[in-house]
Structure 1
Amino acid sequence: MSTAGEGSLYNCSFCAYRSNIKLDLIKHLFEAHGLDATFRYQCGISSCTRVFASGSCFDAFRGHCIRKHLNWQQMLTISLEPTQDNKDPPVDSTMSDGLSAIHSEGAGGSVAISSHDCEEASIRYSDVFTDDIEHGSNEQLTLAVQKETIKRDAAKFILNLKERYKLTQASLDYTIKAVDHLMFLSSKMAKQSLAEGDQGQYSSLFDDLQTEYLQTKYFKENFGLIEPVACELGTSFRYQQMGTKRRLVEVTETFQYVPLLPNLEKLLNNKDIFQEIAKLHARNDHLIGDFCDAAFYQNHSLFSNCDGSLKLQLILYYDDVEITNPLGSQRGKHKLGKIQVME
């Protein structure tokens, strides 16, 4: 068995995912493979024998660890140093009682998939294609099994989005089409790279976009994202539950302000929007069809000054929004007030 000093990584027993942090691999196992019929995960921390079967989620494992294992986070977040060369690092794995297991000294934990289960799964996958490729080569059989396995993983991905993350069918349809299109472009680029003799390393579709921080950074740099700023209004006192007692605590009240001038700058940099704003909207038939046709605008000290300069007409619009749409006595509990700027 490889040790941390030898620079080993934790490998997923189902796919090519690997990580130098045990907890990251456990999260991946539950989120990516938790619905697989052959999925079994044994806790293993301090020789714990609790087994999580197919359909279990990472929150169940985390709740178990909080209740039963005091230092579980410290034990599962020890980082293993990767190897210094460019070769694939050895896998930190062990075989015990016929079970494929990921294991680290002091951390425990295993993916309990028996060899018998794996054989049954392989037979089940191959049976689907027996009639079509019974006389084919082993290579054709392997390709057919791989295709069926990928299709099962895609189906589990869709099921996770729909049931665990509560996506609507419209959102799900868009996600499937978008991922399919990205995969097509990636495959096309990979074929072109191979044709040109480029043997570079595999790059993910979401390189530099894996976390919320990286996503926000990219949005700012490429899409002109302007984040809201928390502005302090003052403080108030309210009761909060602290253990078994309620205490009166001081709470800072804030509101979220999206900077107006940077937003206007981004909008006016759009050629179509600028042309529409610069266009004269006043009517000549003495009818009111726009704000600039009214007497208030025509008599205003700023807008009535015909010096040829462009003047923006901004209207502040206030509205209340109930963000959770509750019924009965809970109405108004999550109501937000918003001030919108209209041009």
Structure 2
Amino acid sequence: MAWLCTLCQRYIAGCYGNVLQHVKCHQYDENFQLKCGINSCQETYTIYESFRSHVYRKHREVLHPSGSVNNNETLSVDNISNSETDDDDINNVPDYNNDPDDVSSDSSDNDDQMEHSAQNKPDLKSSAARLILKLHQECKVTQSALNSMVNGIKELWKEATQELQEQTERVLGRYYTEKNGKLKETTDCSYEIPLLKSLQHLLNIEVIREQVMNSHSRPNSVLGDYCDTTAFKESELFNEHPCALQIQLFYDELEVCNPLGSKAKKHKLGLVYYTLGNLEPKLRSSLKSIHLLSITKHQFVTKYGIDHILSPIVEEIKQLESEKGVQFLFDGHWVAFRGTLTVFSADNLAAWSVGGYKALASAFRKCQYCMVTAEQMQTQFVESDVQIRTPETYNYHCNEEDCNDPSLASHLATTYGIKVLHQT
């Protein structure tokens, strides 16, 4: 017995399991609606997963019928052929009447619809399957031509991703490891998007360029943005160039796997984002205004130091801070822009990592704002009762730890609550 897909009226297979797999390619079609029709079943569905569950529960016998001679005769996405089907077999296809008034479902089917509705989203795999079916059925492309096209697209995609990887990859270090008695070269890498190139694309957007050229500082004394702060008003750069670029960086660490599983920390990543402080807060808070700069495995951040990871970004910011600034191309004209880092934000753990502070719960001094000890933290809660860390004291502590005596450096790191920042 031959089974026909009633949605496209083209796909025919001897096994209904193949038809069920094919129907999945139509699940994102507009106004998707399918009546079961198996053994005169009148159940109608608008969600593929609910229909599939219904078939497995009520009509499992048609999925892999025993003794059928046509089980392997199919026009599938992976193996499209030009096999012909007898007219008698086509005439034996059950009557599918897509009448929307006959929509009905039992309570378990409704539960399946609610369960799988969140999964009803387009994906690349189904889009590729629909494209292959369309090329074969509507454009009459042969199977050999389809195979050549798919192989060519795979090679093109591989080359494109390889080129993109080479453009963003930065080698942090190379070393050799022994495996099965053989030396194998291992490369530690991070992936970075140049800040200046990203700014070039952003400033070519007219809306963003208008925001940069027009300051949004408030004329009253209300403090609502960096433009309203004393640091902005007293800055020599922003006094001379009110339209200078305000780079705001954000660093965060995240787990891409289960943080409680066996792979915890192995796939942990450190990411650096930036946004332009020149944009109004309502525009700056949009996800489209937050841009990625760097992705690095956390183990590499610990191994090579955060200074090494951030060094390319720091160098590009120094170019913006120089007297000549950086030239950006607009409509065939080069325009010089200056800028600087105005805000660096992070959560507690990431801030400790960037600042070089000890992040362990057992650390003697674990606060990044003051010199309070772990014991004093239980009784002292007022700022006037503790010694506040300042840039001067921070630099002094770092210079003290930069010594040739490892034992003394370890003692000072415990005393000051700052890890040795200088990586060798």
Q: So what's the TM-score if we normalise by structure 2?
A: 0.32
* Larger Cα-atom Rg: 2
